[in-house]
Amino acid sequence: MEKKSSIVTFTAPKDIKLILEAAQHIGYYDSLSEFLRDTVRYMLENKKYLRIAIAYELYHQKKISIGKASEIIQTSIQETKELFQNR
């Protein structure tokens, strides 16, 4: 199954822009997009509260199932249901 990508644009303060430009030039990543994807993945891996909030929002909007929400949060379906009941 092929994953679809979307273009996302945003405004960055000067200091963040400098970091993004440097990330492009150091050669560690093939592209700025790869760097940004890795950065977002890192944030989600290391901030459980953020994963919970995002999963809850997507589930509440009926964009994902409880199973997908538990996958995002990295808990069991039962634990996810309990987390969502407390919100």
Domain ranges, residue 77: 47-87
Q: Answer yes or no: do 37 and 54 share one domain.
A: no
pLDDT value at residue 19: 92
Nearest residue to 51 (alpha-carbon basis) of 30, 24, 69, 36: 69
More confident residue, 61 or 33: 61
Range scoring the smallest mean pLDDT among 16-25, 50-59, 64-73:
16-25
Q: How far apart are the C-alpha atoms of 84 and 82, rounded to whole Å?
A: 5
Q: How far apart are the C-alpha atoms of 84 and 5, rounded to whole Å?
A: 29
| Domain presence at residue 67 | yes
Nearest residue to 87 (alpha-carbon basis) of 46, 47, 59, 63: 59
Q: Answer yes or no: do 77 and 55 share one domain.
A: yes
Global pTM? Answer: 0.76
* pLDDT (tens digit per residue) in 9-27: 989 999 999 998 898 899 8
pLDDT value at residue 1: 57
